[in-house]
Homo-oligomer: A and B are copies of this chain.
Amino acid sequence: MEFFINRSYFLNKITNVSHAISPNSPNPSYSGILIFLHPDMIHLTAQDSTMAIVTEIHPGELNQLRIESTGHMIVDAKYLIEIIRHMGGKNIHVMTVGDNMIQVSDENSKFNLFTLELERFALPDIKRPENEIKISLKNIRTTVDQIAYATSEKDARTMLMGVNFRSDGKRIITAATDSYRMALNYIDGEFSQNFNVTVPVRALQEAARIFKNDDDIIQIFVNKRKIQFVSDRTLIQSTLYDGTFPDIAAVIPKNFKSMMELDASMIIPVIERGILFKDDGVAELRMNLSEKGIQIYSGASTIGNADQQVYEVFYQGEELRMAVNGEYLLQAIKALKTLGKVRIDFTGVITPFKVSDPENKDMTMLVVPMRSSY
């Protein structure tokens, strides 16, 4: 195989597909990128056991691709990327040398890399699942930036490590929870059949990173076992999590005992100071809430404590004394991505409270209070 191509264009494409690679794969061939030259295009594939990314390069003005001879081989992604990143030329020349080497060269330099074993690289099955959904890239990015934080990092119920996408007939609900807090958002999209799938965060992050413009519509193909994100001649495929994801939309409380409204930009630093005091890694904030304002106390037994007053609060309803994991409260407020008002609705001192942006009815955060001696 032999081809010429614009260096920075090719660097971008191999970097994109390389994100499918796990740093510690037991199969060394899975640390490589399959470069497959057809007469009229290059096919790049990288994968690990749960994910594959495939992209096509067709000759064009931007990439200056010229294919001299077809063929295929697998090259270690890390070294290939490092070498091409550091090269100086505008265009590069790539070709096989002997049975087990690839040469990348420009005018003044030649780099030879051993290739990896083709037999150990099982081509991923990228057959298209039957169910199609269309979502804007912006909505995928919102899911990554504002919903995925509430997933569980490690859980025997593996589906809690993913973000759930389901249709309610009209819209798409994205939801995440580790059972101590929940994040939920209604987004727009097109679909013809109802679906309910739980997607690994990593697949969403790669879609958010690799695809370009917020306004692009991403085609999503999905069945019970896998999901594909397709745009711009690139396909990101991931396995899905098994199991029944809790119906978070159904558990959002409707009746509240109290509510408060305050400025995100004012309360965030208060909480950040409060969570400096942790016992066993957990920052318990003890809050006294009333129409006179809120008092937030936190302490660490060997270090000290903090006692903070906030008066710039609109509060309505029953006075409450409750304890909350400060990190969870902070993440819920920050995930709203507003510097304006935040509204918190309380159902009681041990039942979940709702954190939301009055300007955005689609997104809801829930946090379960701590059962404290307080």
Contacts and interface: CB of A to CB of B under 8 A. Distances in A.
Interface of A: 76, 79, 82-83, 86-88, 101, 108-114, 269-270, 272-273, 276, 302-311
A111 B306 contact: yes
A83 B275 CA distance: 10
Which 7 A/B pairs are nearest by Cβ-Cβ distance?
Answer: A113-B304, A109-B308, A86-B273, A108-B309, A110-B307, A112-B304, A111-B306
B304 A114 contact: yes
Contact of A269 (B79, B86, B114, B304): B86
A111 B304 contact: yes
Nearest to A299: B112
Copies per complex of this chain: 2
A109 B309 CA distance: 6
A310 B269 contact: no
Contact of A303 (B76, B302, B303, B309): B76
Contacts of A305: 111-112
Nearest to A103: B304
Given A86-B269, A269-B86, A108 B304 contact: no
Contact of A276 (B79, B101, B276, B307): B79
A76 to B, nearest CB: 7
Contacts of A113: 303-304
Given A108-B310, A273-B109, A304 B86 contact: no
A223 to B, nearest CB: 40
B306 A108 contact: no
Contact of A308 (B108, B270, B306, B311): B108
A88 B309 CA distance: 12
Contacts of A76: 303
A76 B302 CA distance: 11
